[in-house]
Amino acid sequence: MSHTVYASLSAENNCSILGIICNMSKVDEVNLDEQKFRIISRLNELWWNENGDLVTLHSSSKLLARYIRDEIVRGGIARADSMHTDTPLSDVSVLEVGCGGGILTEQLARMGCTITGIDVIVDLIEVGKQRASSDPFLLSKVIYKKESVEEHAVHNAEKYDVVVSHFCLEQSDDHNSFINFCSKCLKPGGIIFTSTVSKTFWSWLGIVYLFEKFLKCIPVGMHDWDRCITAGDFRQILKRNDCTTIGTRGFYYNYFTKNSFWIPGLCLFYITHAKKNIHEEQHEDDHNCKN
């Protein structure tokens, strides 16, 4: 969520998660460590309340983490001998762009991968770091950095087996550039997973109107519908950035059971995964290295 979104939301509910983040800029200015510590603790409680403001993030992360794991294994990126262990993603390196306080990051880390979580909001990175610091397993698997993907790509070209972004694309003004920087961080042959909100009448009705305005189970303004994109248009962006789409699945959230579930269409939420193309000269280089 951009600072703009947080700012507009805080006006409606000053006690909300978004209001707290908005107030952080003031805390930064006066550098009151104690106050900042209290705010991060409060933010931690709000970010990690599975039934609170971010219920849809929590429930969708559970569904998508399993999907991401299965597709990484199916794509041959995970080691074959790890597949039937508790940590099937051992030796897989993952970048999560827009990791927030680490909801999806932690789930993927527990599957065994080493994961770098980056986010532009420093206080959310602190939330993730604090939680990881009390868990030795997480500490050995997760690195959190306050960085945009644009900054990260400068020093981390072709570094990761997998790049993931979960509800981050729809916050970008320029989808092509966002995917371009994500793809730069990916090794040739690596997989990029992107979950987002489709730009259809049904997503406006079922997400913006129903969830945000009527049921109020998502903070108002969290999804900027104008910045959303349909799955078809998104596939073209992936293609322009040298990535070939492997699959796309639609999902939605059940307000009563608080669970996310797969749906047949792609008109609400969806996740797409695509493979970064390997070019002939890369094949040849690999071949020459081996001989």
Ligand X SMILES: C[S@@+](CC[C@H](N)C(=O)[O-])C[C@H]1O[C@@H](n2cnc3c(N)ncnc32)[C@H](O)[C@@H]1O
Footprint of ligand X on this chain (CB under 6 A)? 1, 57, 61, 97-104, 118-121, 124, 148-149, 166-168, 171
Rounded least distance, CB 162 to ligand X, Å:
14
CB-nearer residue toward ligand X: 21 or 274: 21
CB-nearer residue toward ligand X: 124 or 231: 124
Q: Which residues contact 151 (CB under 8 A, 6 or more apart)?
A: none
> Is residue 231 a contact partner of residue 199, using CB atoms and an 8 Å limit?
no
CB-nearer residue toward ligand X: 92 or 121: 121
State the Cα–Cα distance between residues 270 and 251, nearest whole angstrom: 6
Q: Are strands 160-166 and 93-97 parallel, antiparallel or unpaired?
A: parallel
Closest to 122 (Cα-Cα) out of 153, 140, 94, 99: 99
> Is residue 97 a contact partner of residue 149, using CB atoms and an 8 Å limit?
yes
CB-nearer residue toward ligand X: 225 or 278: 225
Rounded least distance, CB 80 to ligand X, Å:
29
Strands (E), the chain: 93-97, 114-119, 142-146, 160-166, 186-197, 243-254, 259-263, 269-276
Rounded least distance, CB 213 to ligand X, Å:
18
Rounded least distance, CB 168 to ligand X, Å:
4
CB-nearer residue toward ligand X: 3 or 235: 3
Rounded least distance, CB 205 to ligand X, Å:
21
Rounded least distance, CB 160 to ligand X, Å:
14
Q: Which residue is nearest to ligand X (CB)?
A: 98
Sheet holding 114-119, edge to edge: 142-146, 114-119, 93-97, 160-166, 186-197, 269-276, 243-254, 259-263
Rounded least distance, CB 230 to ligand X, Å:
19
CB-nearer residue toward ligand X: 87 or 148: 148
- Look-up of token digits 């970008």: 172
State the Cα–Cα distance between residues 28 and 40, nearest whole angstrom: 12
CB-nearer residue toward ligand X: 52 or 189: 52
Q: Exposure pattern of 177-200 as b/e (b: 16+ CB <10 Å)?
A: ebbbbbbbbbbeebbbbbbbbbbb
